[in-house]
């Protein structure tokens, strides 16, 4: 026994070696590199390629605002603490700088050398200043005078007008001036903020355009006519710049008595946090670039000079305003499960059998209709729901308000700290409270990320709970863009579990134990580890053992170590990880039985599904949680079983389909790099997303 314990300790130590782990931030950059490959893929429709290019810019903004900002703070405090990968904050920052600079350079090269010429061929043109003809120049000058000039506030820099506070991610121009101003002062510099209220793309009207889709950049118009802002002086230089700031809000939950009020006070500071990145035009002179770096207290590696419009994300509106369906993904109408169109009564349909929806291939309307019917049904006594991300104009929010107005007991757990949605969620909370909804903000110190909806209905002489549990947010717009599962059930034990979870969220007291659900931060991680160990034990006993997990991120060291141990025992482990993955597959003696693939396609893969072979009695679970520390130990999450035999088979078949995908898959190598699977030659091409569209969308 002693020898066995020593061997176990040695094995555990071996599995903690830094070389067995990939850095989280570098893995996130690798994900954005895979997204970039969509932008250069000629099989992707042209305007969708542009959309992918813009998505990278949006992703990088958040990456710098949160992840890089946090690393910079650690480095500033002198921290040498390492993660499982053994890299210090300074080492990670150096590698981020190298990889992010290369990615941004490739972005603009793709824009200039591939996308813009291809769009011009299709009649979608961005006219540069030197390409404007006389009529276009006259029209744009009038546009400048009428639309821009009244809202611009240029600031000439001098002792009385110091360098202004620049808003996070807002476009500005640094302008160098010659000559004397009205007061006899010489030249100098000025800062001109681009009006945030105006679109960055200006569509030229038919009377001056050669086609229906000709555009000028707002930045080009400003650049051309910026001299109008400084009469009597000469503009000798004008260059775009944009600063990204630390946007992670800090609220000391032990020192505040009203989280909503504290967040409302903290939100404005997000606009003016510490600078973490400076973007500037590549023709900006070195002395001006250094001047800006000094002003923002940044180093040279924090400067990203670009050949094109600063902030490519502003181009993301183009596919929506250009009517060229031939250059976009084909439109589709989400389908409905066969039973739902036959009845208008959601409660009758759910009572007869569990219903599983797979968005966006299937419609989100049943979820909206479920709440609408609950609000109008006189037999419904109470509605409880969690809201993490939704919209101020959400139909679901309106239904919750309607239910409260007619006297139903409505309780909504609004997560105020959903990053970058704090202001929206505060607005939703205020709207709900005004109509009598009982609003709570979850648990102090833990974000409520669980996706739960429960309706209590009186039926004959009893109360019955109807439940919806999902892997994604209650957001009708993202339900058309993200892949997610949603389960309707009136299973008594699941209903009791959801009731207990809501009681825990509102009272913050312990539950007496859950019947079928797992939850973070209490039982989900131990439950996962137990199931992984069970598969390992089965493998050791010579039984078939298999794990499939489809998740967005894998970072948790305890889970990774458990997977390594299971692999060593002979368990076949197939991971479908869209984004961050800190596990290294294919290492002899450690993870040779583990494969990792990433699917990047039309829709953002967002489903969290766990499959365990369980000695021939498969266990299938869906969850709101990824396998990351924040999900497993720092948030309130739910994980629910799929028990209906047909629905369970369907989810397993979906997983097998994603494992067979050979057109949109990237395979992770043991060194952390990803290789795109070669397009099939004689093999039948398989796209999981397209196959699901063909099977589930409305014909």
Residues with a catalytic annotation lie at 449
What residues pair up with 455 in beta bridges, in sequence order?
383, 466
Distances (CA, A) of 605 to 164, 553, 584, 631: 41, 11, 21, 17
**Cβ proximity of 594 and 563 under 8 Å:** yes
Q: If DSSP codes are grouped into helix, strand and coil, which group holds residue 173? A: strand
Backbone angles phi, psi at 588, to 5 degrees: -60, 130
Name the packing angle between helices 46-62 and 89-110 (round to 10°).
160
Range 643-659 burial, b when 16+ CB lie within 10 A, else e: bbeebbebbbebbebbb
650: tokens are 């369907």
Closest to 370 measured CA to CA, from 458, 459, 474: 474
Distance CA 634, CA 110 (A): 39
**Cβ proximity of 157 and 189 under 8 Å:** yes
Q: If DSSP codes are grouped into helix, strand and coil, which group holds residue 418? A: coil
Query: How does DSSP assign 359-383, residue by residue?
Result: ETTB-SHHHHHHHHHHHH-TTEEEE
Question: Residue written as tokens 């398989």?
Answer: 686
Q: Pairing mode, if any, of strands 619-623 and 609-612?
A: antiparallel
Q: If DSSP codes are grouped into helix, strand and coil, which group holds residue 230? A: coil
Closest to 584 measured CA to CA, from 127, 182, 575: 575
Distance CA 696, CA 698 (A): 7
**Cβ proximity of 498 and 506 under 8 Å:** no
Q: Supply the DSSP symbol for 66.
A: I
Q: Pairing mode, if any, of strands 303-306 and 572-577?
A: unpaired
Distances (CA, A) of 413 to 217, 296, 425, 449: 43, 39, 11, 10
Question: Residue written as tokens 């900006």?
Answer: 284
**Cβ proximity of 324 and 47 under 8 Å:** yes
- Count CB atoms within 10 A of the CB of residue 171: 23
Q: Percent helix, strand, coil in the chain (nearest 5)?
A: 40, 25, 35
Q: Is 142 exposed, middle or buried (0-12, 13-18, 19+ CB in 10 A)?
A: exposed
């Amino acid at each position: 026994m002693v020898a066995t314990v020593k061997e176990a300790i040695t094995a555990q130590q071996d599995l903690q070696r830094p070389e067995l782990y990939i850095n989280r931030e570098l893995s996130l950059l690798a994900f954005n590199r895979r997204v970039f490959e969509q932008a250069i893929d000629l099989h992707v429709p042209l305007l969708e390629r542009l959309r992918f290019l813009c998505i990278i810019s949006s992703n990088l903004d958040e990456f710098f605002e949160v992840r890089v900002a946090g690393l910079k703070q650690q480095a500033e405090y002198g921290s040498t603490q390492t993660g499982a990968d053994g890299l210090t904050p300074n080492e990670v920052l150096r590698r981020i700088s190298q990889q992010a600079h290369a990615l941004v350079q490739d972005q603009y090269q793709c824009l200039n050398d591939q996308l813009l010429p291809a769009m011009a061929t299709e009649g979608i043109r961005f006219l540069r200043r030197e390409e404007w003809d006389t009529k276009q120049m006259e029209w744009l000058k009038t546009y400048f005078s009428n639309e821009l000039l009244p809202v611009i506030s240029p600031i000439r820099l001098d002792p009385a007008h110091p360098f202004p506070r620049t808003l996070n991610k807002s476009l500005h121009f640094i302008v160098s001036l010659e000559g004397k101003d009205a007061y006899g002062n010489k030249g100098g510099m000025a800062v001109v903020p681009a009006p945030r209220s105006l679109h960055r793309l200006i569509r030229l009207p038919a009377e001056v355009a050669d086609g229906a889709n000709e555009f000028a950049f707002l930045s080009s118009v400003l650049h051309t006519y910026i001299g109008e802002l400084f009469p009597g002086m000469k503009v000798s230089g004008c260059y775009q710049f944009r600063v990204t700031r630390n946007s992670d809000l800090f609220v000391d939950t032990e020192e505040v008595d009203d989280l909503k009020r504290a967040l409302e006070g903290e939100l404005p500071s997000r606009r003016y946090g510490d600078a973490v990145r400076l973007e500037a035009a590549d023709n900006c002179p070195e002395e001006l670039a250094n001047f800006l770096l000094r002003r923002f207290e940044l180093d040279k590696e924090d400067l990203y000079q670009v050949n094109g419009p600063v902030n490519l994300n502003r181009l993301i509106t183009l596919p929506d305003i250009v009517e060229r369906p031939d250059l976009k993904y084909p439109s589709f109408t989400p389908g409905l499960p066969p039973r739902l169109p036959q009845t208008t009564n959601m409660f009758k349909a759910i009572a007869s059998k569990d219903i599983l929806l797979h968005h966006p291939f299937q419609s989100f309307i049943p979820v909206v209709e479920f709440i609408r019917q609950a609000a109008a049904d006189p037999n419904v006594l109470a509605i409880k729901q969690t809201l993490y991300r939704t919209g101020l104009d959400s139909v679901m929010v309106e239904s919750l308000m309607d239910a409260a107005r007619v006297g139903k007991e409505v309780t909504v757990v609004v997560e105020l700290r959903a990053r970058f949605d704090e202001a929206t969620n505060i607005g939703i909370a205020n709207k709900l409270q005004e109509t009598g909804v009982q609003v709570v903000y979850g648990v102090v110190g833990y974000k409520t990320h669980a996706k739960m909806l429960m309706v209590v209905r009186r039926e004959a002489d009893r109360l019955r709970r109807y439940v919806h549990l999902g892997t994604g947010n209650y957001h009708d717009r993202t339900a058309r863009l993200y892949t997610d599962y949603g389960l309707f059930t009136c299973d008594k034990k699941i209903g009791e579990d959801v009731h207990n979870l809501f009681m825990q969220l509102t009272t913050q007291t312990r539950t007496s134990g859950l019947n079928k659900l797992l939850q973070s931060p209490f039982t989900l991680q131990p439950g996962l580890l137990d199931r992984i160990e069970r598969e390992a034990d089965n493998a050791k006993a010579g039984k078939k053992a298999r794990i499939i997990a489809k998740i967005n991120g894998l970072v948790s060291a305890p889970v990774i170590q458990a997977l390594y141990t299971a692999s060593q025992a002979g368990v076949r482990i197939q991971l479908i990880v869209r984004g961050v993955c800190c596990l290294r597959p294919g290492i002899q003696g450690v993870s040779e039985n583990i494969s990792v693939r990433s699917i990047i396609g039309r829709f953002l893969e967002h489903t969290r599904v766990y499959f365990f072979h369980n000695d021939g009695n498969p266990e299938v679970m869906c969850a709101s949680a990824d396998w990351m520390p924040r999900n497993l130990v720092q948030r309130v999450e739910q994980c629910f079983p799929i028990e209906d035999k047909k629905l369970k088979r369907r989810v397993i078949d979906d997983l097998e389909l994603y494992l067979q995908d050979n057109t949109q898959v990237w395979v992770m190598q043991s060194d952390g790099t990803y290789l795109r699977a070669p397009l099939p030659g004689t093999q039948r091409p398989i796209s999981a997303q397209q196959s699901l569209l063909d099977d589930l969308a409305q014909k």
